[in-house]
Chain A
Amino acid sequence: MDMNMESLVYIALFAPFVGSMFAGLLFGNAPRTHLTGIVASILIFVAFLASATLAYHVATVGPVHVKMMDWITIGDLSIPFGFLVDQISVTMMVVVTLVSTIVHIYATGYMDHDKSYNRFFSYLSAFVFAMMILVMSDNFAGLFIGWEGVGVCSWLLVGFWYHKKDRPFEENPSISPSWAANEAFIMNRVADLGMLVGIFLIYWNIGSLQYDVVFEAMPNLADGILVSIAIALFIGAMGKSAQFPLHTWLTDAMEGPTPVSALIHAATMVTAGVFLVIRSNPLYSLDAVSGVSMFIAILGTFVAFYAASMALIARDIKRIVALSTLSQLGYMFAAAGLGAYWIALFHLAAHAFFKALLFLGAGNVMHAMDDELDIFKMGGLKTAMKASYWYMGIASFALAGLPFMAGFYSKDAIIETAFNEGTFIIWGMLVITAGMTAFYSFRQVFFSFHGEKRYEPLGFHPHDMYKYVLIAMAPLAILAVSFGWLMGYYKEFIYGLNESVQYEMSDHTHHLAIYLAALVVVIAIGAIFLAWKKYGGEGDKAWKRDEAFEQSFIYKLLENQYYVPKFYDEFIVKPYTITSAKFWEIDKAMVDGSVDKIGRACLKIGDTTRGMQNGNLSSYLNWMGLGALILVLVAAFSTITTESIVECLRAVAGKGE
């Protein structure tokens, strides 16, 4: 039985890797072929089956911990390639592989006409592999490898259409795919430094990076060290999960193909930061770091509100969804910071399902509209794209947290947690944000699917996606509706892990829960109704562009993302560019200059001395004679010197006697 489980762990881990290598090595230079897409999809599905079986095993028998091989063994440092499949990691594995499977199938349709089809699947499967390492590793070093791996794959995939030209910032805030890819990568480097410092601190103070050893030893460490570790690790999480102030890359990462946005920048990779905090729950639930945890909750709440406010007026359909991802990540951090780790993880899973669905739906819309992203140019698409309309509707209902959808259970639990902890400001902010979430997600739905057919005068002829792609999206829709119903089972499942992951509402909150939920639902429905009134009407009631409002200060502020990207550009990017240019000049003068001088000197010596090679034997003999003479002189001179030195020494020695 155990042996079986071990091989399942390896299948879950390496099937995506095989898929990636298949597409990359065998078909890297080949013209696009559906074979790569199909094989990669099947292998990811195999990984999903293995993960699901492992989940059942974890639920019935217990966690699986395997050690594949030694990796780094130097002195006292021993880091094995070990994999831990417990309640937390298996949740992530199932979510990652399930969403990946659907996104892979989706991408076979979406990337159909792209000439780099094979390359795309190679990257996409490599991403899944890196993500699996990230979640399955049993130590911080393996986690970091996966962490960097997903970063690289994200860079490759955001910049997938690297040939697109740069456009000015005013025209396109994310300039170009390669620019956005670099931004994401560099911003994550900043955060990864924090994470590395955290890992080094753990190693210095504990002498191991294995989770079990580390978390057992942590209560014995000094408070200051624990706080430093907690802060450093959270800085890493802030980068990957795009928390303020390292958030600007996430919306710009929408330059990547839409399946990438769905998989990496909504469902999986960006939740790695939340995963890290949940994984380190024994650390973050210590009393010594309660300040850091509270900061996480406050920052999460702030980001939830901050991102939602920008989504209220955004016009780019993918940016709206990306901002809602940012906002929901804030919710997850709020829950994790307040100690409700399992609720955060549950929302992570639920969010992955409905957000992936939302993104894939947005992809369908883009596909139908010839890559047009501006919702002002859409409208009334529901007749042309019935299936996508339903999917987007369901996903938005789930995101808005309407009763009995996935988001209703998971997001309400977070809001309830904030109430239960007595942090009423956080609670209030989260409730308001829930209303904003409902408003902006339905604003987007009504804009694109209801109202006047604004696209008609612009000459678009929308058509829905391939049938099989639409069918492949169905599991996400089913889960977006029903995943919340499993909350009770899930709670039982994850409570088997340890004490610190458990979280219960007080009786007082429990009594009020129904009213709290009702309040949130009423606000959400009100917001949806408002969105309907404003954007859903046809004919006389149709939405009309409000130029005056678009000139107002608040609109400008939100449209420019609170001027944060501008601030970064002015105060970080530009000074850095100027300094780099200066350093380049110094480099040119000193390093390049000295190398050039040496080269030129050699050339010059050669040029002057080549006159010797005149072909005349007599002059050669003269030069040879000169050389011999010099050698004789040198030999004679050095003999004299040595002798005189010896003599001197003798004289000194003689005096000593």
Chain B
Amino acid sequence: MLEIGVNHYLILSGLLFSIGFMGVLRRKNLLMLFFATEVMLNAVNIAFAAIGNYYGDLSGQMFAFFVIAVAASEVAVGLGLLILLYKKYGSLDLDVISSMKG
């Protein structure tokens, strides 16, 4: 019988993080970028909770809570900004809303 250990959680966390990271890099829609960052944050949360459990230390889970709280407020502010951007440009495509040129 396969026992689920800390390594499995960490591999899951790593996979999720990579998926989120690829999303940040590849997606063009700002809303999708938000989703991707959420995925990355939650990947980290998994790692925190797993390692905290592994060491029998609650700090890891506490950090995870903090991250959830921060992510929630970020989404609240971010979505507000997104709505404003959408009203201004009529789109959330990054190629469309880029304005600064080097």
CA distance A613 to B94 in the complex (A): 14
Q: Are A621 and B24 in contact (CB under 8 A)?
A: yes
Q: Are A613 and B25 in contact (CB under 8 A)?
A: no
Number of interface residues of B (CB under 8 A): 15
A618 at the interface (CB under 8 A from B): yes
Q: Are A621 and B100 in contact (CB under 8 A)?
A: no
CA distance A30 to B25 in the complex (A): 71
Contacts of A614 in B (CB 8 A): 98, 101-102
Q: Are B25 and A622 in contact (CB under 8 A)?
A: yes
B21 at the interface (CB under 8 A from A): yes
Candidates B25, B30, B99, B102; contact of A611 at CB < 8 Å: B102
Candidates B30, B95, B99, B102; contact of A613 at CB < 8 Å: B102
Q: Are A615 and B102 in contact (CB under 8 A)?
A: yes
CB B73 to nearest CB in A, in angstroms, measures 21
Q: Are B100 and A613 in contact (CB under 8 A)?
A: yes
Number of interface residues of A (CB under 8 A): 12
CB within 8 Å of B: which A579-627 residues = 610-618, 621-622, 625
CA distance A611 to B102 in the complex (A): 7
CA distance A611 to B101 in the complex (A): 9
CB A606 to nearest CB in B, in angstroms, measures 11
B8 at the interface (CB under 8 A from A): no
Q: Are B25 and A615 in contact (CB under 8 A)?
A: no
CB within 8 Å of A: which B55-93 residues = none
* Nearest neighbor of B94 in chain A, beta-carbon distance: A618
- The 0/1 profile, CB within 8 Å of B marked 1, for residues 609-650 of chain A is 011111111100110010000000000000000000000000
Contacts of B100 in A (CB 8 A): 613, 615
CA distance A426 to B28 in the complex (A): 105
Q: Are A616 and B102 in contact (CB under 8 A)?
A: no
CA distance A617 to B85 in the complex (A): 14
- The 0/1 profile, CB within 8 Å of A marked 1, for residues 17-40 of chain B is 000010011011010010000000
Q: Are A625 and B25 in contact (CB under 8 A)?
A: yes
CA distance A621 to B24 in the complex (A): 7
Candidates B21, B98, B102; contact of A617 at CB < 8 Å: B98
Q: Are B24 and A615 in contact (CB under 8 A)?
A: no
Candidates A610, A611, A618, A622; contact of B95 at CB < 8 Å: A618
CA distance A618 to B95 in the complex (A): 8
* Nearest neighbor of B33 in chain A, beta-carbon distance: A621
CB B102 to nearest CB in A, in angstroms, measures 2
CB A484 to nearest CB in B, in angstroms, measures 89
CA distance A622 to B22 in the complex (A): 9
Known: A617-B94, A618-B94. A612 touches B102 (CB 8 A): yes
Q: Are A615 and B21 in contact (CB under 8 A)?
A: no
CA distance A615 to B95 in the complex (A): 9
Q: Are A613 and B28 in contact (CB under 8 A)?
A: no
Contacts of A621 in B (CB 8 A): 24-25, 33
Q: Are A615 and B28 in contact (CB under 8 A)?
A: no
Which of B21, B30, B99, B102 has the most chain A CB atoms closer than 10 A to its own CB?
Answer: B102
Q: Are A610 and B102 in contact (CB under 8 A)?
A: yes
CB A619 to nearest CB in B, in angstroms, measures 9
Contacts of A622 in B (CB 8 A): 25
CA distance A324 to B88 in the complex (A): 95
CB within 8 Å of B: which A404-426 residues = none
Contacts of B25 in A (CB 8 A): 618, 621-622, 625
CB A140 to nearest CB in B, in angstroms, measures 66
Q: Are B28 and A618 in contact (CB under 8 A)?
A: yes
Contacts of B28 in A (CB 8 A): 618
Q: Are B94 and A616 in contact (CB under 8 A)?
A: yes
CB A74 to nearest CB in B, in angstroms, measures 57
Q: Are B24 and A625 in contact (CB under 8 A)?
A: yes
Candidates A613, A617, A618, A625; contact of B101 at CB < 8 Å: A613
CB A627 to nearest CB in B, in angstroms, measures 12
CB A4 to nearest CB in B, in angstroms, measures 79
CA distance A618 to B24 in the complex (A): 8
* Nearest neighbor of B29 in chain A, beta-carbon distance: A618
CA distance A63 to B30 in the complex (A): 95
CA distance A616 to B27 in the complex (A): 12
Contacts of A613 in B (CB 8 A): 100-102
CB B86 to nearest CB in A, in angstroms, measures 15
Contacts of A617 in B (CB 8 A): 30, 94, 97-98
Contacts of B24 in A (CB 8 A): 621, 625
Which of A610, A612, A615, A618 has the most chain B CB atoms closer than 10 A to its own CB?
Answer: A618
- The 0/1 profile, CB within 8 Å of B marked 1, for residues 221-239 of chain A is 0000000000000000000
CA distance A618 to B26 in the complex (A): 8
Contacts of B27 in A (CB 8 A): 618
CA distance A208 to B1 in the complex (A): 97
Contacts of A618 in B (CB 8 A): 25, 27-28, 94-95
CA distance A612 to B33 in the complex (A): 20
Q: What are 9 A-B pairs with beta-carbon distances under 8 A? A: A612-B102, A614-B98, A614-B101, A614-B102, A615-B102, A616-B94, A621-B25, A625-B21, A625-B24
With A615-B101, A615-B102, A617-B94 given, name 12 new contacts (CB 8 A).
A610-B102, A613-B100, A614-B98, A616-B98, A617-B30, A617-B97, A617-B98, A618-B25, A618-B28, A618-B94, A621-B24, A625-B24
CB-based closest 9 A-B pairs: A613-B102, A615-B100, A615-B98, A618-B94, A616-B98, A617-B94, A615-B101, A610-B102, A625-B25
